[in-house]
Structure 1
Amino acid sequence: MFYSFFRIAWRNLWKNKLFSFINVFGLASGLLVCLLAMIGIKGAFDYDSIHPHPERTYRILTDVVTQDNDNRSFATSPLPLADELKQKYPFVEEVTRVIRNNGDFSTGTKQLPVLYSVVDAGFFRIFGFRLEKGQPAVAPKTIVLTQETAQRFFGSANPIGKVLTHHDLGALTVTGVLRESTAKTHLHFDVLVSVATLSGPAWQQALADWRNYSQGYTYVMVKPGMATDALAKVLPELSNRATNGLRFASEKGYTLRSQPLTKLSPAREELMNATYEPTIGKLETELGVGLLTLLLAAFNYINLTLARSLSRAREVGIRKVAGALRWQLMAQFMAESVVLSLFGLSMAYGMLQLIKPMPFVQQWLIGGVEWESNVGVWFIFVTFSVLTGLLAGLLPAKVLTQFQPAQVLRSQTGLRVFRGITLRKSLIIAQFAISLFAMITLLSMARQQHYMGHTDYGFDRSNVFVIPLNGVSATRLQTEINQLAGVERVAATSALFGDHGDGWQTVRRDRSGGDSTQAHIFSMDANLTSVMGLSMIAGHNLPASASDSASRLVLINEEAVRSFHLGNAGAAIGQTIWLNDSTDVQIAGVLNDFKFTTLVWKISPLIMRYQPATFRYLTVKVASGNPEEVRSAIARIWKRVQPYEPFAGIWYDTFLNDRHSHTDDLAFLALLIGLALSIACLGLLGMVTYTMELRTKEVAVRKVMGARIDQVIWLLSWDFVKLLLIAGAIAIPLGYLASSLFLTTFAYHISVGASMLGLCFGALLLLGGLTIGFRTYRTAITNPADSLRTE
């Protein structure tokens, strides 16, 4: 019997090829997004699967109560906790601290930014990061590299025994290189440094301070056979004992609790200082987008099936007269939808192979996830596809099989939902409204990113060339570039404007004062103000000197004048401020406010001082004329100075555009919207095609009575154009609200105007109009004699 159902289903689908293709493509598009989401979900639950004993490994969390009685949970925990657990609790087998940080490491000839973690010896026993060569970093001043980091610093040379230098940690000897792994983990790092390296007084104080709960992570592995709640039972008493008598600056206190490593991903709660595991909200969003796209495809199936309700209802009537039961008819219709869904799954797999290389797909969805050879994953895919087909076919099957034979054979069918608008039309409106809403929000994102890459930041970026130093002497390179024809001026700086800045520091007006302000600190030389076209409104520039006295003079911006309560710009000149309670500097000049960080943040206090040890970039002002010739000359100088390091110079305009234009992300979003629009337009095409088939004889009679082609086209199109107008009326205000909400996350942003909304709506009308016009025109030009021949 079931074989007969599927054979008849195949026959009906082959008979109606256009409708079948529209449904298969629509279901394939929806299933494609759902497959991506399901692979991403599998990857989220596969996090940290490389570690040897995840079932008895825990991370310690800190629940903090503030003075305002707010509760905040931190993924970090006090640094002394690891030693306390290891020494006083016999059920603990191993512990480790992980202190994350970033900074520049240097080989002497090459300097690169690195994400590093300081870890205990237990790290290599708790976690499954295996060594390809060498030994773990256990002794003081030792370091282990990932393979990628070893390649960046040393190329193909053996890094074991080589030395990397960090300005705080000192000279570190490479003792090992980690084996490359594609498995996903919540721990990200480029190098691992032995915790024994932290020998300075400040570090020793931090490692013993129970108030310092936000700097490092604590991981505990309990002994085999211990109760799962053994660790959880001792943490409340331990935290009470450790915090007894402590005085906090802005907290009432904290408690500790354990989090199993197996429950880290996906993250089910929002933690401060969270690591790199995906959140449950991210997975819900991905699955929601997939189900929404699949819902659009299901709308198409329901739409087209109900559009053909007249001919199928007559088929139902005849089958009922012949003795078929209702459940048999429903099984027949649902078998057709299951066959369509399985074809859609096959097409979705082919589409997935095409988009799999996309950077966004690899980075955020399926990269590092083993799924193609996993039988369980394919079982879920097929089961999901079958369920999709059953659910999509359920409503049409119920509607078509409820008709009575006498009613059907008199052609008295009709399906109404509310106020005379048919269900089929309601589904078309929903499809185009969702597509238009997505189009408006995507265009808002794209325009904001273009704005961030091309707007006026308040500094001169035209004909400015940026050279990452990567350990090369700034003075040497600066001297040689200054001699080139076409170079107006060369400046050195620690960071580039328009990025995330160069770090915060606490600044006080008085060393012993209670008031403090966080300010961005940039290092620069005297040439930077002229290279970047910065405007001085009071005082003078930093002196063109390499002496230590130059580092005691600083430039600040207008926002710093306001934040430090220095009066006006003129009154601020000559005043002294303190950096980190230890360094007093004198204000030499005040600059106009300009946007020196990303546009997500408002302009904040800025301090610029001379610190040549932290210079990481040269900025070169190039004269108009032939800038590419100057670029080539700079590249030749670089090749001579640093022959084994690739030249990474870039124009400032290009840097800002690349920094803020997330083209990979937008490309994937555009793909999703393209799929949604394709589904909607194909669904509309199927509806129009079937309607035109029903109205062919009506058109013929009207043409015989004298109707013009344009009148016929308008008559046939108006009903569908109204659906597009209704979809626009729904989607435009919703898209405006969503875009405005997105843009409020930026301190400086575009506005959502009528022109942008009109552009999106015009594109929708154009696509829908072409879809409608194509079929209505073909019907309108049909020869009446051919249409009426059978009458």
Structure 2
Amino acid sequence: MLRSYCLVALRNLWKHKLFSAINVFGLASGLVVCFLAVAHIKGVFDYDNFHPNRDRTYRVITDVTNRTSGRAVYATSPLALAPALKRDYSFVDEAVRVMEVPDEEMTGNNKRLNVDNFAVDPGFFRLFNFPLEKGRPATEPRTIVLTHKTAVRFFGSSDVVGNVLTHRSLGPLTITGVLADLPLNTHFRFDALISLTIYQNPDPQDPFWGWQQYDNGYTYVLLNPSASANNLERVLSSISGRANRDLRSPNGSRYSLRTQALTRISPSRERLSRSLINECTYEDLVGEFFIGLITLLLAGFNYVNLTLARSIGRAREVGIRKVVGALRWQVMGQFMAESVILALLALGLAYGMAEVIRTMPLPQYQFMIRLKWDFHLWLLLIGFTLIVGLLAGLAPARILSGFEPAQVFRSYTGLRVIRGLSFRKTLIVVQFTISLVAMIVLVSIVRQFHFFSTADYGFRRDRLLTIRIDDQSAQRMISALNQLAGVERVTATSDLLSELNDSQYIRRERNGRDSAQAALVAVDSNFLQTMDLTLLAGRNLPTPDGAALRGQPSRFALLNEEAVRTFRLGNPVEAVGRSLWLNDSTEVQITGVLKSFRFGWLTQPIKPLLLVHQPRQFRYVSVAVAQGAEQTVLAETKRIWKRLLPYEPFTGEWYDDQLSRKYDNRETLNLLSLLIGMALSIACLGLLGIVTYNTQMRIKEVGIRKVMGATVAQIVALLSWSFVKLLLIAGLVSYPLGYLAGTALLSYFPYRVTVGFETFGLCVGVLLVIGGLTIGLRTYRAAQANPTDSLRTE
């Protein structure tokens, strides 16, 4: 019997190739999204399962409370914590620090490349199982280990032990080993590990290395087998209590320390600040699984609609089967067999689509590059597909197997599957509502990123040429550029304003503990005029004297309004003349206060900023160019670069282009567009099914109307209006839902666009065009039919 079911199912699928292809594509689209979600979720739960003693390894995280921003949870902890735990508590087998290293560009083998670095304690290589391919760990001062991929990038092979890489801030580093490329199922992501012993004998009174700062590095602890997390929790509570007694912050910050098991880092139950890039939360996984489930549900709706659309063609088959003695469950078995076969065909297509997606540069799916289609995974996917096939075919099988033979043979074309079609019309509205909400969210995201790349930052960004000079003489480059016609002003800085992601602690008093974080940028006296910044009080940085021109730093600084509020310096006028301490030996006097402007990432609020004159830190030269002179100045600048640095590639770039590229999330947007395109195509296929069914049910009516003189346009309008109404209803339902979803998503950004009628109008316009074409083409074909064919007696 099963063999008979399969043969008949294959014949029916082959006979109706178009409907079969549409069904297979719809189910495959839903399955591939589910497969991606399931594979990703499975990978997230497998994170860091290759480390020894992972059940005894913990990361220390920090709960922070303050008067201004309330409570926040940091994945980091004070750098003084690990040495104290290892020194004072016998139940701690190992405690290591992992610190992100700024200034990621490194030089080696005549190449200058960006490298993601961590500085780690020697115990890191004992605690974590990142196997060495060659050499030995980086445990001595000024040593480094590279991943295999990084070694090949610099030297073309992994035989690099003994070679030297030069870090911009840390200087030369000797390569002692090469790590195998990192497994994808780890929350760490780095290109190189530098020995933390490069910072020899750090001052424990320095806030950076002491107990005052909790966001400079990560602490991992390995407990001995007889200890438990409760032992460590009690110790951490005591340590944080002592640290808070000495902590005096301008915003009243206090913190407490607690443990997070290595097995709970991914997925995490809470979202942490300063978490590593590969950390995922349960909230992320629920959202991802929900997207996959919704897409698969749409595909199931589509299958039901298309199967019922062919019900008229299957009615006589059902009647004959019942007349010759088939029971209802046997007829249901036939339709269920067809559904399962379709699902298995969709599984094959979904596999091909997943293989294509694996080649796409999508960061969130990089784990799929090494995804192994092993027996267990195939068993899981086949089982999942069979369940989907059975569930999708259940409703059509029950409906079609319920046909009465007498009714079928008496009135073949007058058969009604579902009276009023209310259920199936509801499915159409639901499908298009979901698709519209997804489109509104996508368009909102696109508009948000466009806003990021074109926003008014509060400083000049047009006709500004930025040149990275690194360790070259800024003054020599500035002198040459100032001679060019079309150059308005030239300034030198340590960083570009759009890239200020790092900050350091500044204190109001030399020995005080009332420190706060602020971004620190080295600039010259031309910076304000070049960047069109507004000075609210005081004066600009003084013009450098002879000592400053020779590279000596000055003792003056400019602050933004946010820094004045953070350090509680009163109003801008009162802040002028006050002093701040950059460290124990560097005091700067405030000469002026700037109107706050946006720097760093626009996804974050404005933070405190200090501008100081430190010529040795200059790494960029920015050139303000007059209108119409852009190409001339660019060509002349390249000529000057060639003369001054003949062996270095030109590093100039227009600031506008850089800001646009900074917020270029094309890969993520392409993925979202692909998913939404799938959802919309599935909805259109479902609409095609119900339109096909309806036109078949009204074929005699169409013939009579044509005989009575109705035109094709009138018939198309008559058949289409009820479906156009479904699209309009979907639009009305989706607008408030899309507005709420888009607004909730955009609320994470401090500077954002709004979900207005222009977004809704664009999405509804796309819906009406695509849906209208689907309806119009099918109804037009029905209206063109010959009346004699539809009115002929059967």
Q: TM-score range by the shorter chain?
A: 0.7 to 0.9
1:340-373 deviation per Cα after TM superposition (whole angstroms, max 9, x unaligned): 111112222222333333222xx11143653244
Question: Which letter does structure 2 place at the counterpart of 1:338?
Answer: V
Q: Which residue of 2 aligns with 1:535?
A: 534
Question: Which letter does structure 1 place at the counterpart of 2:711?
Answer: R
Structural mapping, 1:107-126, within 5 Å? 114-126=115-127
Moved more, 146-155 or 42-51: 146-155
Would you say the 8 A contact 1:62–1:73 is kept in 2? Answer: yes
Q: Which residue of 2 aligns with 1:394?
A: 394
Structure 2 CA distance for partners of 1:335 and 1:34, relative to 1, 3 Å = same
Cα distance in 2, alignment partners of residues 318 and 88 from structure 1: 86
Superposed displacement of residue 425, structure 1 = 0.8
Q: Which residue of 1 aligns with 2:522?
A: 523
1:2-52 deviation per Cα after TM superposition (whole angstroms, max 9, x unaligned): 11111111112222222212111111111121122222223323433554x
Superposed displacement of residue 325, structure 1 = 2.1
Structural mapping, 1:55-94, within 5 Å? 55=54, 57-62=56-61, 75-76=75-76, 82=82
Cα distance in 2, alignment partners of residues 527 and 150 from structure 1: 41
Question: Which letter does structure 2 place at the counterpart of 1:535?
Answer: T
Structural mapping, 1:138-537, within 5 Å? 138-150=139-151, 158=160, 160-162=162-164, 164-165=166-167, 167=169, 172-203=173-204, 215-220=216-221, 226=225, 230-232=227-229, 234-236=231-233, 238-239=235-236, 247-248=244-245, 249=247, 256-257=258-259, 259=261, 261-271=262-272, 273-275=274-276, 276-360=278-362, 363-367=363-367, 369-406=369-406, 409=409, 414=416, 422-506=422-506, 508=508, 518-537=517-536
Moved more, 266-275 or 117-126: 266-275
1:716-756 deviation per Cα after TM superposition (whole angstroms, max 9, x unaligned): 10111011011101111111111122222222222222222
What's the secondary structure of 2:459's corresponding residue? coil
Give aligned pairs, total: 778
Cα distance in 2, alignment partners of residues 207 and 747 from structure 1: 28
Structure 2 CA distance for partners of 1:751 and 1:581, relative to 1, 3 Å = farther
Would you say the 8 A contact 2:464–2:624 is kept in 1? Answer: yes
Cα distance in 2, alignment partners of residues 559 and 62 from structure 1: 28
Question: Which letter does structure 2 place at the counterpart of 1:452?
Answer: F
Question: Which letter does structure 1 place at the counterpart of 2:524?
Answer: D
Cα distance in 2, alignment partners of residues 85 and 499 from structure 1: 36
Identity, in percent, stands at 49
1:632-670 deviation per Cα after TM superposition (whole angstroms, max 9, x unaligned): 443454455556654343211111111123111111111
Moved more, 35-44 or 446-455: 35-44
- Alignment partner of 1:709 is 2:708: no
Alignment partner of 1:668 out of 668, 671, 674: 671
What's the secondary structure of 1:103's corresponding residue? coil
Structure 2 CA distance for partners of 1:482 and 1:520, relative to 1, 3 Å = same
Structure 2 CA distance for partners of 1:47 and 1:258, relative to 1, 3 Å = closer
- Alignment partner of 1:780 is 2:780: no
Superposed displacement of residue 481, structure 1 = 3.6
Structure 2 CA distance for partners of 1:73 and 1:609, relative to 1, 3 Å = closer
**TM-score (norm: length of structure 2):** 0.87
Would you say the 8 A contact 2:182–2:189 is kept in 1? Answer: no
Cα distance in 2, alignment partners of residues 751 and 200 from structure 1: 52
Superposed displacement of residue 689, structure 1 = 2.5
- Alignment partner of 1:127 is 2:128: yes
Alignment partner of 1:749 out of 746, 749, 752: 752
Would you say the 8 A contact 2:99–2:119 is kept in 1? Answer: yes
Q: Which residue of 2 aligns with 1:26?
A: 26
Superposed displacement of residue 393, structure 1 = 0.8
Would you say the 8 A contact 1:551–1:611 is kept in 2? Answer: yes
Structure 2 CA distance for partners of 1:245 and 1:262, relative to 1, 3 Å = closer
- Alignment partner of 1:730 is 2:733: yes
Moved more, 549-558 or 147-156: 147-156
Structure 2 CA distance for partners of 1:550 and 1:287, relative to 1, 3 Å = same
Moved more, 494-503 or 657-666: 494-503
Structure 2 CA distance for partners of 1:632 and 1:149, relative to 1, 3 Å = farther
Moved more, 329-338 or 113-122: 113-122
Structure 2 CA distance for partners of 1:145 and 1:615, relative to 1, 3 Å = farther
Superposed displacement of residue 88, structure 1 = 7.7
Cα distance in 2, alignment partners of residues 152 and 618 from structure 1: 28
What's the secondary structure of 1:354's corresponding residue? helix
Question: Which letter does structure 1 place at the counterpart of 2:179?
Answer: L
What's the secondary structure of 1:302's corresponding residue? helix
**TM-score (norm: length of structure 1):** 0.88
The CA RMSD measured in Å over matched residues stands at 3.6
Moved more, 731-740 or 681-690: 681-690
Would you say the 8 A contact 2:77–2:257 is kept in 1? Answer: no
Moved more, 107-116 or 729-738: 107-116
Cα distance in 1, alignment partners of residues 735 and 500 from structure 2: 34
Cα distance in 1, alignment partners of residues 527 and 126 from structure 2: 49
Cα distance in 1, alignment partners of residues 399 and 21 from structure 2: 23
1:431-454 deviation per Cα after TM superposition (whole angstroms, max 9, x unaligned): 111111111111111111111111
Question: Which letter does structure 1 place at the counterpart of 2:40?
Answer: G
Structural mapping, 1:37-56, within 5 Å? 37-51=37-51, 53-55=52-54
Structure 2 CA distance for partners of 1:13 and 1:623, relative to 1, 3 Å = same
Moved more, 764-773 or 56-65: 56-65
1:286-311 deviation per Cα after TM superposition (whole angstroms, max 9, x unaligned): 22211211111110111122233344
Cα distance in 1, alignment partners of residues 287 and 201 from structure 2: 46
Gaps of 5+ in 1: none
Structure 2 CA distance for partners of 1:498 and 1:366, relative to 1, 3 Å = closer
1:317-338 deviation per Cα after TM superposition (whole angstroms, max 9, x unaligned): 3323322222222221111111
Cα distance in 2, alignment partners of residues 222 and 601 from structure 1: 37
Would you say the 8 A contact 1:40–1:366 is kept in 2? Answer: no
What's the secondary structure of 2:102's corresponding residue? strand
Superposed displacement of residue 511, structure 1 = 5.9
Moved more, 120-129 or 263-272: 263-272
What's the secondary structure of 1:732's corresponding residue? helix
Alignment partner of 1:601 out of 598, 604, 607: 604
Cα distance in 2, alignment partners of residues 353 and 82 from structure 1: 44
Superposed displacement of residue 772, structure 1 = 0.7
Structural mapping, 1:491-640, within 5 Å? 491-506=491-506, 508=508, 518-545=517-544, 547-548=547-548, 551-560=554-563, 569=572, 572-579=575-582, 583-625=586-628, 627-638=630-641
Moved more, 345-354 or 634-643: 634-643
Superposed displacement of residue 67, structure 1 = 9.4
Cα distance in 2, alignment partners of residues 467 and 719 from structure 1: 62
Would you say the 8 A contact 2:135–2:161 is kept in 1? Answer: no
Would you say the 8 A contact 2:311–2:417 is kept in 1? Answer: no
